[in-house]
Structure formats: structure tokens, C-alpha cells
Amino acid sequence: MNRRPLWISLILILSLAWGSAAAMLGAGWEPKLGLDLQGGFSVVLAAPEGIDRPVLDQAVETMRSRIENLGAVQEPEISVQGDRRILVQLPGVEDRERALAAVGTTGQLSFRPVYDIQVISPAFLDGTLPLPESLAATTTTAPPGDGGNETTTTTTTTTTTTEPPVIPDDIDPETGLSLDDDPTKNVYLQDDGGLFYALGPAFLTGADMTGAEPGFSGVGIGSGGGWTVDPAFTAEGGTKFEEATAILSTFPSGTPGRQMAIVLDGSVISAPQIAESVGFGEALPSDSVVITLGTSDDAQQEAEDLATVLRYGALPTTFERESEGSVSASLGSDSLRAGLYAGGAGLLLVALALIAYYRALGVIAVLGFTVFGSLLMGTIVLLSRTQGTTLTLAGVTGIIVSIGITADSYIVFFERIKEEHRRGRALRPAVDYGFKRAFHTIVTADTVTMVGSVLLWLLAIGPVKGFALTLGLATVVDVVVAYYFTRPAAQLMVRSRLGEGGALSIRGAMGRPATGGVAT
Amino acid sequence: MSLWRNLYRGETEFDFVRHRRRFFLISATLIGISLLSLLVRGLDGSVDFTGGAIVESPNQAEVDVAEYRSELASIGREGARVQIRTERDQSETVVIQTEALSVADRNELVNTVAAVAGVDTNDVNINSVGPTFGSEITRRAIEALLIFLVVVAGFITWRFEWKMAAGALAALFHDLIITAGIYSIVGFEVTPATVIAILTILGYSLYDTVVVFDKITENVHELGTRHTFTEIANLSMNQVLMRSLNTSLTSLLPIGSLLLVGSYLLGAATLREFALALFIGIAAGTYSSIFVASPLLTEWKEREPEWQRMQRRVARRSGETVLTAVEAASASATEARSTGATPRAPKKRSQRR
């Protein structure tokens, strides 16, 4: 048998495993620890007084879905506290604001007709509100040199001051903005650029949507393209959208009436205009609508976050942040240390037992543990750095348990060698043939576990998801180590002096004298 | 020859199948007791499942989490979750979550916390808290589990046969019910860690059973023309016995160490609950793969006409002889010698799939 491929496989996997372990230690990369081990960030979100419990429960589920969609497995802890508060705890500190935005953003989306767009709130211009002194000055100076206009404005102001209209209590008298974004009413809202909009009742809201995908588009409706969110409507929502665009397209091009404002949580995100080419009274197909957010780097994240919020729906109520702060680990370093010591002691015992029982083959198993451990930790650290996966105490214990699972692969193999040898095969064929049969068993058994963990990972939520990830990884690494490490190591060992010589050799572990086997 | 030598050489001759009814009785009794306890006493869910009380107090004394935990343990609340929250203004608040409390317990807890934190009892706030491992997570986990079982059953049916899938699932439920039963009988608190541990058992139990069935399938192909299913099942179990024992040993060693070193010597209560569930589950898993799954499969297979005919043939042929590991080994050794002892490719197994 040609030994070269065996050596190559052995050297490659050893350098990969030990090399990556050394690199991680050298670079100081560690897996991110979960809430229970390292603590994190805690915020209490308070809903308005008198909220119903089912509404809070629904909000908790929406928040959880949004968080889980942000990173792979962040394992947040979200619970209802008291009768109107939600306690959110997130591990780690990176991207804290983004995570908090994902939990706290109400996510009320509406598509509204635009009545007017001004540099001050149109509420001051259409007579809904008296013009405050500070703004009156700017308006009067706005068109300079036109005496007539100045007089008119002054007159209007005087009129409104002398006969004060009933100030609607849902509008801020200072800024002229609506206090809440009620989709059934006319509202005055602002966009990021400081423009003020007078908007009509919503054509449709987030409830008419089934999902949203982030994307990048060359051309968006009425703008130059950039990062977009592509919403998908329900059948009813699609009809509403088409009816709305049919109305808007009756307005002449260039007027605000031809624009449709997209409003999220009381702020106008964009107000695209129906393209000029769309004829009078013609409807836009609802599957072609995109929300354009611009081309900046932030816009990409904004698009992704907005899509997340839209996909999992609006929170049923608004929340206010209360008592924010960082929280300590609930278990503390003593538990982690206890877990690691216990794991170390357990590993040592397993190693001793395997060496005592299988002699030289046991040494292969122990070396195999280091390969298994390095590869598993490497993958976890990698996932932790790229996906934000965190390791909780349950995860640490899961890794300790996987020692047992990988030890089993060695035992299946070694017992198989013994059995083949007992049946009269010489030592070398017993190892070669034994591996073939044992690998079949190992793959079958690992597949069952892997299928389980993939399903759990896809379907479950919360801590179960994190567990499934660790377990699934362990089974994959187990198969890889069995094929690329254990097989070449055992085949090389049986052909070396360690194969035949004395009580410590492989033959020594076979439980029968060397003469019992039949040499080829 | 001592039992140990026989075990070491894989030459034991235990007749597992003959006493199967006895094992079934033992398992049935255990399952019965477990189910009864689960129905009557139920499980004691931790604050993560049931919700409970949340106690907040300024941490005036600036003591650490461990200090609070040991003080809480002394009033019987070692299950409580303790965190210290650092507010924006750098002041510290201790946050303790525990199960729902009676008035007396509540006062005791408030007094203890106030004493440790060095504040007046009036500064300690107490509020209710909902579950973090809520009904939605539980529901999704159960759904995932059911789909998992269907897929695994499909996989085993495809790789082996449907009767083996049924046997494996029976062994699985056996392990899960007994583990849950012990939790219910002893009154251990069920935490999310316990749920994870039980899921681990699930994977473990299946793994164990699949290894035994793999061996049975292989032996059926090699010896199925000369021996009854009972004989083959017995032989297979004797052959994998050392593997099962060794595997259980190597799995129980780290968990036992977790239990002993982690929880008793170093005092990490969370580890104890987790390790205990695993310990019980893996022990049950080893037992069930040998004493439940395979005997159940044998019971079933022996009723097939094919294997009934084999039974009659073997009885006619040799009266009382039973296939033993030694006999099988020498039989295959003879076979191996005659073919020059070179490794042969495993027989094509397509006809059985």
C-alpha cells in the first residue's frame, strides 16, 4: 500500500487543525460568550398604560423574530415584566444601537397621498395652525422684495391671531407636526431632509404586506436608484396599491399630488413620484414598487433593517426605553471555570481510559481529540466573528458532551478492528477493512444526529437553535476527523513498529496472542 | 476465562433475547411510574418557563454576583438568576429573577437582598416577570421535534427497514419518558439547560440504536441463511456490547466529572441540573439500545413467515445448539482462511433497502 497519500492526509489535517488553533491563540480570537457567561446589554421597553397582555406577548414574539434575523444566533432574552414592560437582554455590546433599533422600532408603515410639500409645516400655511413668531419672520423674508406678498402674509397672520382657530390637540403647535401617525387621518410629517409634508389618509399600511426583501436597484421609481426594499403585498394590498396609483396618475407631472409618500413610524422615508410615462388614470402594477433609500453605505444596512422590520410586522404598540444599562453575567466566571475544569478533567479521564484499553490506538484517539477540539473551536470562533453566534453555558456543556460522541467513533472503529482480527484477518487487513465497515456505521449514526440538528436549527428558535448549531457542527467535524485523521493514522501505525511490537502495540490491544491471527 | 476477558475479546455469550420479556417488564414498569408521576406531579419549570418575580435593588454595598448567589442559596433559592446592571450613571442595580413567591417567601427574599445590598427594604422593588423561554419557543421546539422524528424514521427506513425505525423510536421514547419521569419524581427544576440536555439524549439514543441495528443488518446478510433472527440478534448484541459499554463509559466520564467537579466541588448549580439529565439519559440510552430496541425488533421479526421458516429449519437441523460468538468467529475464520483472508468488499446490500 502506498503510504504517501496517508501521510499527506495526516499532515494536512494536523496542520489545518493545530495551525488554526495556534493562529486563534496568537491573534487572541475567542468565541463571543453569551448573556449568561459574559453579560450584555439590558433595556426595559415600556408600553402605554393599560395595554392588554396578549398585545405584549405578540410584541415579544415580533421582537424575537427581528433580533434573530439580524445575526445568526444572538440568543436574546426577552420577557414581559410587570403589566406593561418588556425586558430585553442582549449579549455582547457590538452593534448595540442597531439591535436596539430592531427591537424598539415600532415599524408602522403607511403609503399616503401627498397634498403639499413645504420648508415649514403646511399646517401653518393652510390655516390649521397660527404661524408662530419665529416662523413668521422667515416666511415674510422668504420672498424678499415683494411688498405685496409681505402685506398679505402679515394680514393672514393678523387674522389668525385675532380669531384663533381651534388648535387640533394632535398637532404640536411649535413645529406644526402631527403627534401621532394615525393612518386614518390627515397628518403633517417631516422627512430626513427637513421638508414638511401634508399627507392624506393612508392608501395602505404594513398590514397589507406579506414581506420585504432588501436589494440594490439601478433605477427606482422617481429617483436615481440605490439600496432598496422591495415590499410584497397581500392580494388585497396589491389591489389597494393599484387603485392608489391610478388616482395619483391623474395629477399632472411635477405636482406633489403625483407623489406617494412612504411613511415609517411617523417619518417620511421617501415620496417617489409616479413616472411621467404613466398615463392619466393608469395604475402601476403592485409588484414593481420599491422603496429607495439612497446609495450610501448606511443605506445598505438601513435597507436590510427596514426589510427585517417589515417582514416581521409592526409592533402592536409604541414603546419607550427605560432603565438601559449593561448587565453582568448571571453565572459569572466561576461557573465557566467550573465547566472548563470539569471538561478538562473529563477529557483526561477519557484519554486515560482509551489508552489503557486500546494502547497505541488509544494514543490515536487522544491526538484525534485535539484535532476534533481545534476544528470545532475554530468553526465556532469563525461563526462568532462573522455571524455574531454566542456561546452560552449550554453550548459549552454541549461541547463537553460531544467528547463522548466523538470518542464513540473511535470505539466503533477499534472494536471493529478487534472483531475483524478475531475472525482471522491479519492485523493490516483488519485495520483497512475494519475502517471501511466502521466508517459506514459512523456516517449512518452521525447522519441521524446531523439531520436532527439541521432540522432543529431551521425550525426552532431561542436557545434550542444555538444548541442545534453546536451539535450539528460536532457531527460534521467528527466524520471529517474519522476519515482524514483516524484512518491514515491507524493505517500508518499498523505498518510501523507500533503495530506489532509488545503489549503496548495494536496487536497487544487485540486481546489474543500474535499467533492467533492468520498472517497473509 | 473470566467475564472481563470475555468482554475484552468480544466473546461473551449473553442471551439477551431470551429474557426479553423480563426487560420489557422492567422498562414498562419504569415508564408506567414515570408517566404516572408526570401526570400527577408534573414537571417543575424554572422561572424561564413559568415566569415569576423580579427583584431589583440598588447595589449599595457593591458586592458581586457570587456573593448574592451564595446568600440566596442559604435561603433555598439557588435556582435564582442574579445579574448586576450598570446604569448610564455608573450606579449598580442588582436584578434577581426567581419563581413566583408566597408573601412570606417574598419578605424573606427582600430582607436578604436588602441586607446584602446594604439598603433599606423599601428600596427593594419587586415585580412580576414573564417567561423568557415562553410558549412560542416551546411550541416551535415541539414542532421541530415532531418533524425531526418523522425525518429520522424515514432515514432509518431507507437505510435499514421500517421495523428498525419503529424500534429506534420506541427506544427513544423510552429514554425521554424515563428521564422526564426522574425529573418529575425527584422534583428537579426544569431549566432551558435541561431541555437542551434532553435534546442531546435524543441524538445520543438514536446514535446508539443505529450502531446496534447496523451490526444486526450486517450479520443478517452474512449469517441469515443459516441462523434464526434471535441467534443473529444475540450475536450482534454480544459483538457490540463492549462498544456500548466503552462508549457509555467515555460519555459518562466527562459528564460525571461535570457533575462532581463542576457542581459539587466548584459549586456551579446550573451545571448540576444539566449534567444530571445527561447522566440519566445516556445511561437509559445505553440500556434501551440493548434491552429494548433490539429485543423489540427480534420479537417482531420472528413473527415474519420468512424467519419462522428459518426457526423451524434450524430447530430440525441442530436441536438445541445456539449460535455463539465463538462459533460465529470460527465459522467466519474458516471462511476467511478459505478465501485467503483478504479483505472483501462488503456485500451489496441493495436488496434489503
Which pLDDT value is given to residue A439?
Answer: 92
Q: Is the pLDDT of residue B135 over 80?
A: no
Q: Are residues A84 and A121 in the same domain?
A: no
Q: Where in chain B is the domain with CATH 3.30.70.120?
A: 52-129
**Amino acid (1-letter code) at residue A420:** E
Residue pair A75/A463 in contact by the 8 Å Cβ criterion = yes
Q: Are residues A391 and A469 in the same domain?
A: yes
CATH class of B52-129: alpha beta
The number of angstroms, rounded, from the C-alpha of A310 to the middle of its chain's C-alpha atoms is 15
**CATH number for the domain harbouring residue A70:** 3.30.70.3400
Q: Which chain A residues contact residue B274 at CB under 8 A?
A: 393-394, 397
Please tell me the distance from the alpha carbon of residue B92 to that of residue B61, in angstroms, as a whole number. Answer: 10
Q: Where in chain B is the domain with CATH 1.20.1640.10?
A: 13-44+134-318
**Do residue B193 and residue A445 have CB atoms under 8 angstroms apart?**
no
**CATH number for the domain harbouring residue A379:** 1.20.1640.10
Q: Are residues A218 and A258 in the same domain?
A: yes
Give residues with Cβ within 8 angstroms of B102, minimum separation 6: none
Q: Are residues A74 and A213 in the same domain?
A: no
- What domain count does chain A have? 3
Q: What percent of chain B has pLDDT over 90?
A: 8
Please tell me the distance from the alpha carbon of residue B212 to that of residue A325, in angstroms, as a whole number. Answer: 53
Rounded to 5 degrees, φ, ψ at B321 are -65, 140
Which pLDDT value is given to residue B338?
Answer: 40
| Residue A137 within any structural domain of the chain | no
Highest-pLDDT range among A339-348, B54-63, B256-265:
B54-63
Within 10 angstroms of residue B327's Cβ, the number of other Cβ atoms is 15
**CATH number for the domain harbouring residue A174:** 3.30.1360.200
Distances (CA, A) of B350 to A96, B23, B159, B228, B238: 56, 33, 10, 21, 26
Q: Which helix (H) or strand (E) holds A377?
A: helix A360-387
| Nearest residue in chain B measured CA to CA from A39 | B83
Q: Are residues A285 and A346 in the same domain?
A: no
**Do residue A79 and residue B130 have CB atoms under 8 angstroms apart?**
yes
Q: Are residues A57 and A28 in the same domain?
A: no
Which 56-115 residues of chain B touch chain A by CB within 8 A?
64-66, 69, 81-88, 93, 95
Which pLDDT value is given to residue B346?
Answer: 44
Confidence of residue B144 (pLDDT cuts 50, 70, 90): confident
The cell numbers describing B286, all together, are 445505553
Residue pair A20/A374 in contact by the 8 Å Cβ criterion = yes
For A452-495, the DSSP string reads: HHHHHHHH--THHHHHHHHHHHHHHHHHHHIIIIIHHHHHHHHT
Which pLDDT value is given to residue A483?
Answer: 92
| pLDDT < 70 stretches in chain A | 1, 70-74, 92-95, 132-168, 217-225, 294-297, 331-335, 394, 397-398, 401, 462-463, 499-504, 508, 511-520
Q: Are residues A288 and A381 in the same domain?
A: no
**Do residue B192 and residue A394 have CB atoms under 8 angstroms apart?**
yes
Tell me: the pLDDT tens digits for A155-167? 444 444 445 556 6
Q: Is the pLDDT of residue B35 over 90?
A: yes
Residue pair A259/A336 in contact by the 8 Å Cβ criterion = no
Whose cell is 407623489? That residue is A259
ipTM of this complex prediction, to 2 decimal places: 0.74
Which pLDDT value is given to residue A270?
Answer: 77
Closest to A85 (Cα-Cα) out of B133, B49, B130: B130
Which pLDDT value is given to residue A518?
Answer: 41
Give residues with Cβ within 8 angstroms of A21, minimum separation 6: A373, A374, A377, A378
Please tell me the distance from the alpha carbon of residue A115 to that of residue A133, in angstroms, as a whole number. Answer: 25
Q: By CB neighbour count within 10 A (0-12 exposed, 13-18 middle, 19+ buried), where does B30 fall?
A: middle
State whether residue A317 is helix, strand or coil.
coil
Which pLDDT value is given to residue A516?
Answer: 41
Mean pLDDT over B223-239 rounds to 85
pTM: 0.69
Which pLDDT value is given to residue A93?
Answer: 58
- CA distance, residue A86 to nearest chain B CA (Å): 9
Q: Are residues A288 and A178 in the same domain?
A: yes
Q: Which chain A residues contact residue B54 at CB under 8 A?
A: 81, 87
Q: Is B317 on the interface with A (CB under 8 A)?
A: no
**Do residue B343 and residue A57 have CB atoms under 8 angstroms apart?**
no
Within 10 angstroms of residue A369's Cβ, the number of other Cβ atoms is 19
Q: CA torsion A66→A72→A75→A78, rounded to 10°?
A: 0
| Nearest residue in chain B measured CA to CA from A433 | B343
Whose cell is 436532527? That residue is A452
| Residue A152 within any structural domain of the chain | no
The cell numbers describing A313, all together, are 410586522
Which pLDDT value is given to residue B319?
Answer: 53
Q: Are residues A219 and A282 in the same domain?
A: yes
Q: Are residues A97 and A169 in the same domain?
A: no
Please give the residue range of the domain that contains residue A47. 40-106+319-327
**Do residue B268 and residue A452 have CB atoms under 8 angstroms apart?**
no
**Do residue A404 and residue B85 have CB atoms under 8 angstroms apart?**
no
Measured between its terminal Cα atoms, the distance across chain A in Å is 14
Closest to A13 (Cα-Cα) out of A358, A408, A492: A492
Please give the sequence-ordered ranges of beta strands (E in DSSP) within A62-139, or none if there are none: 77-81, 85-91, 109-118
Least reliable range by pLDDT among A282-286, A476-480, B162-166, B270-274: B270-274
Please tell me the distance from the alpha carbon of residue A388 to that of residue A378, in angstroms, as a whole number. Answer: 14
Give residues with Cβ within 8 angstroms of A148, minimum separation 6: none
Q: Which chain A residues contact residue B93 at CB under 8 A?
A: 323, 325
Closest to A67 (Cα-Cα) out of A312, A297, A303, A264: A312
Nearest CB partner across the interface for B86, out of A325, A353, A401: A325
Look at B279 and A431; give whichever has higher pLDDT.
A431
The cell numbers describing B274, all together, are 444539566
Q: Are residues A241 and A290 in the same domain?
A: yes
With helix as H, strand as E and coil as C, how does B326-338 read? HHHHHHHHHHHHH
Q: Which chain B residues contact residue A66 at CB under 8 A?
A: none
Confidence of residue B131 (pLDDT cuts 50, 70, 90): confident
> Which residues, listed in sequence order, are joined to residue A386 by a DSSP beta bridge?
none
The cell numbers describing A9, all together, are 492526509
| Mean pLDDT across chain B | 79
Tell me: the pLDDT tens digits for B93-112? 888 888 888 888 888 888 88
CATH class of B13-44+134-318: mainly alpha
Nearest CB partner across the interface for B254, out of A87, A403, A456: A403
With helix as H, strand as E and coil as C, how does chain B read? CCHHHHHHHCCCCCCCCCCHHHHHHHHHHHHHHHHHHHHHCCCEECHHHHCEEEEEEECCCCCCHHHHHHHHHHCCCCCCEEEEEEECCCCEEEEEEEECCCHHHHHHHHHHHHHHHCCCHHHCEEEEECCCCCHHHHHHHHHHHHHHHHHHHHHHHHHCCHHHHHHHHHHHHHHHHHHHHHHHHHCCEECHHHHHHHHHHHHHHHHHHHHHHHHHHHHHHHHCCCCCHHHHHHHHHHHHHHHHHHHHHHHHHHHHHHHHHHHHHCCCHHHHHHHHHHHHHHHHHHHHHHHHHHHHHHHHHCCCHHHHHHHHHHHHHHCCCCCCHHHHHHHHHHHHHHCCCCCCCCCCCHHHC
Q: Are residues A115 and A227 in the same domain?
A: yes
CA angle B52, B55, B57 (to 5 degrees): 175
> Which residues, listed in sequence order, are joined to residue B84 by a DSSP beta bridge?
B94
Which 140-199 residues of chain B touch chain A by CB within 8 A?
140-141, 143-145, 147-148, 151-152, 155-156, 159, 192-193, 195-197, 199
Question: β-strands A204-205, A209-217: how paired?
Answer: unpaired
**Do residue A463 and residue B133 have CB atoms under 8 angstroms apart?**
yes
Please tell me the distance from the alpha carbon of residue B92 to that of residue B59, in angstroms, as a whole number. Answer: 5
